[in-house]
A and B are shown apart, each in its own frame.
Chain A
Amino acid sequence: MPKKKSSEKAGSGHNLARLTELYNTMTRIRAFEETALTAHKAGEIPGPLHVSIGQEGVAAGVCINLTREDRITSNHRGHGHALAKGAEASRMFLELFGRAGGYCGGKGGSMHIADFSVGMLGANGVVTGGIPIAVGAAQGLKMLKSKAVVVCFFGDGAINRGPFLEGLNWAALYNLPVLFVCEDNGVAAFTATASVTAGPGVMARAASLGVSGVSVDGNDVVAVDAAAAHLLAEVRGGVGPRLLHAKTYRWTGHTSTDAAAWRDPVEVSAAKAGCPIARLKSLLIERGAANVEAIAQAAAGEMTACRSAAHAAPWPDPATAFDDVQDVGAVRHV
């Protein structure tokens, strides 16, 4: 099993169309979150946002290898996963703004975006919340003789919760079609993960349960794509679960209200210098792509339009607060 893949080597196998698609996805995720942060600062979005700026390569590189029927589970930092899986930015913006027409009708907000129609089984406000759901979804799909697989995104902080151990053991035990993706940004909320994590980390923990995997530079989207393609081919082949460990970096604080003054500025500057989108852009220009600037501009324009539309959209009818609790025993009065 390869431990590292370099973009030079893996990128040579990528055609320009695929690189362009990755770039399009990553710039859309970046533009979505930067626009959302701006809107949040302007007081247009209620509640906190957990953004993944700097981590776009992981969502894009993994999800380009999925079909619509494949499922994903996500975590509290899930805008990128949803967009990469095919969720509509416009309906995501409506949800962030708490407006009618949002994915959850304004009941979920940023932390609970789901789009079952594209196999996005939901972001989750609880660390590891998606892991048992992912293995169960895989077990159900297997029972229904589906060919679909499940990708389970979680962060490095999640490996210290019990459901991580339970879920990996479960997936290995029942030989389930799951790709676990540890998006390792080095921080668990406000704490350096290494300072609260014993042992050599996620790869070794997974290996101890018989789940093998690949560790990649998560800021090298070409490497992420290649590793995900390789691992998903194995998972689709029926070998059971695999792990993709993608080392990345979160540029921002924990939430939109955290100015992240606690971050080491040298570390942050270094991460920005190695921006995964800029790296892919260089590769695209090197490979002769002509429309690189236009893609980024289109992404920014799309998200600005989504923001305006969401800002102008109606609030949900307050009476809908009573909808979708349960069929039997639903409460219909205040």
Chain B
Amino acid sequence: MIDVTLVDAGRLAVQQEMRRDPRVWVLGEDVARGGLWGQYRGFLEEFGAERIVSTPISESTIMGAGLGAALVGTRPIIEMRIFDFVMCAMDELVNQIAKIRYMFGGQARPAVVVRMPHGMWRNSAAQHSQMLESWFVHLPGVIVVAPSCAADEAGLMVSAIRSDDPVLFFDPKDLWLAADRMPAGEIQPIPFGKARRLHEGGDLTIVTWSAIVPKVMEAVTLLAAQGVHADVLDLRTLWPWDEAAVLASVKKTKRLLVVHEAVEVGGFGGEIVARVIDQLGTAHVKVARRLGAPRLPIPFSPPLENQIRVTTEKIVAAAMKAARE
């Protein structure tokens, strides 16, 4: 095992794949100077300016040029700097990248990775903190990835780069600089659609992903101290998602709590709850519930931000209620 941050894990994965495949390259703002967090540090020296391309602040063209370059046989990694800026490139992502293979009857394979660091990031306010991953699960034609630890960041990035499908890769901004460990040596691809079990328990199933995962695990320890043992699944990829693992767990516990940092209303938690009830039937599911943020923009000031955040305490309370009622 090696000591890394998630930034290091992502960098090692992209570097490994760029060494393996000369068609892989990166475009985005400030990437040649290493990227905002150092996720491309050293790339200019190793790969040269043609494969690590710092671009103008032109999100539409960063996204669309990535697509065009994929259509002639290269494999671009499109860096969006932070997720919120993808709003400036929605035509290119939603109308072009996600549709082009289908619309053209299979002639095009848009093999791109779109990297979008997302989520709350202390005191960054409403345009630099959003989690709207559920929008993209709703969008046919793309794979949606949202890792929460270094090993998954690396393994899923390798899979994303090797994928012929377009992959939307949501790096968890708030966890990016956290200390973590991952296996040493060549990074193996992690298949899409496989959840990771973080804790075993029979009292309730907690399904979660991305930056909220460490808080869920804090809550799980507190719950265990009170005699409530949770089965915890980190989905890691939201499309495709590991429905089989979730169903197997809820079959055992009969209680489901989905925890996500995103707004609860219309969030992906609702889809998971609906599918579980649909597949298992109401007789076999005692509780199926979501915990997310209230339907508010993210405020700036620390006490305001804390007010709306999904916290360990809120997770403990929701889980306790779900397990006991």
| A interface with B by C-beta (< 8 Å) | 71, 73, 102-108, 112, 114-116, 121-122, 124-126, 129, 131-141, 143-144, 146, 162-163, 166-167, 169-170, 173-174, 323-329, 331
Which residues of chain A come closer than 8 Å to B71, judged between CB atoms? 116, 121, 133, 136-137, 140
- A326 → chain B closest CB, angstroms: 4
A129 with B96: in contact, given A136-B66, A170-B65 (CB under 8 Å)? yes
Chain B window 69-101, contacts with chain A (Cβ cutoff 8 Å), 1 for yes, 0 for no: 111111010000000000000011001100011
Contact in complex: A170, B91 (CB < 8 Å): no
Q: How far is the CA of A133 from the CA of B192 in the complex (A)?
A: 28
Which residues of chain B come closer than 8 Å to A71, judged between CB atoms? 72
Q: Which of A107, A108, A133, A140 contacts B96 (CB 8 A)?
A: A133
B218 at the interface (CB under 8 A from A): no
Contact in complex: A136, B68 (CB < 8 Å): yes
Contact in complex: B104, A104 (CB < 8 Å): yes
Which residues of chain A come closer than 8 Å to B56, judged between CB atoms? 166, 169-170, 173
- B181 → chain A closest CB, angstroms: 28
Offer 20 A-B interface pairs, CB within 8 angstroms, sorted by A.
Answer: A103-B105, A103-B107, A104-B103, A104-B107, A122-B100, A122-B108, A125-B95, A126-B95, A129-B95, A129-B96, A131-B64, A133-B96, A136-B67, A140-B73, A146-B72, A167-B61, A170-B55, A326-B143, A327-B164, A331-B140
Contact in complex: B104, A103 (CB < 8 Å): yes
Contact in complex: B58, A326 (CB < 8 Å): no
B165 at the interface (CB under 8 A from A): yes
Q: How far is the CA of A7 from the CA of B70 in the complex (A)?
A: 39
From B65, B73, B100, B143, residue with most partner A Cβ within 10 Å: B65
Q: Which of A143, A162, A326 contacts B50 (CB 8 A)?
A: A143
Which residues of chain B come closer than 8 Å to A137, judged between CB atoms? 68-69, 71-72
Contact in complex: A143, B108 (CB < 8 Å): no
Contact in complex: B68, A132 (CB < 8 Å): yes
Q: How far is the CA of A116 from the CA of B55 in the complex (A)?
A: 27
Q: How far is the CA of A103 from the CA of B100 in the complex (A)?
A: 13
- A150 → chain B closest CB, angstroms: 8
Interface size class of chain B, counting residues whose CB lies under 8 Å from the partner chain: 35 or more
Contact in complex: A136, B64 (CB < 8 Å): yes
Q: Look across to chain B and name the residue whose beta carbon is closest to the beta carbon of A134.
A: B68
Q: How far is the CA of A173 from the CA of B142 in the complex (A)?
A: 30
Q: Which of B25, B60, B73 contacts A166 (CB 8 A)?
A: B60
User: In the complex, which residues 11-54 of chain B have their Cβ closer than 8 Å to any Cβ of chain A?
Assistant: 23, 25, 50-51, 53
Contact in complex: A329, B69 (CB < 8 Å): no
Q: How far is the CA of A5 from the CA of B96 in the complex (A)?
A: 37
Which residues of chain A come closer than 8 Å to B165, judged between CB atoms? 326-329
A166 with B58: in contact, given A108-B103, A122-B100, A132-B63 (CB under 8 Å)? yes
Q: A-B contact count, CB below 8 Å?
A: 159
- B78 → chain A closest CB, angstroms: 10
User: In the complex, which residues 103-150 of chain B have their Cβ closer than 8 Å to any Cβ of chain A?
Assistant: 103-108, 140-143
Chain B window 167-186, contacts with chain A (Cβ cutoff 8 Å), 1 for yes, 0 for no: 00000000000000000000
Which residues of chain B come closer than 8 Å to A131, judged between CB atoms? 61, 64
Q: How far is the CA of A126 from the CA of B73 in the complex (A)?
A: 23
Contact in complex: A328, B69 (CB < 8 Å): no
A135 with B96: in contact, given A163-B60, A326-B165 (CB under 8 Å)? no
- B49 → chain A closest CB, angstroms: 10
Contact in complex: B141, A140 (CB < 8 Å): no
Contact in complex: B101, A324 (CB < 8 Å): yes
Contact in complex: A126, B91 (CB < 8 Å): yes
A144 with B105: in contact, given A163-B64, A170-B56, A329-B192 (CB under 8 Å)? no
Contact in complex: B72, A102 (CB < 8 Å): no
A139 with B108: in contact, given A324-B102, A325-B101 (CB under 8 Å)? no
Q: How far is the CA of A132 from the CA of B96 in the complex (A)?
A: 10
Closest 5 CB pairs of A and B: A132-B64, A136-B68, A136-B65, A140-B69, A329-B240
B269 at the interface (CB under 8 A from A): no
Which residues of chain B come closer than 8 Å to A135, judged between CB atoms? 61, 64-65, 68
- B220 → chain A closest CB, angstroms: 29
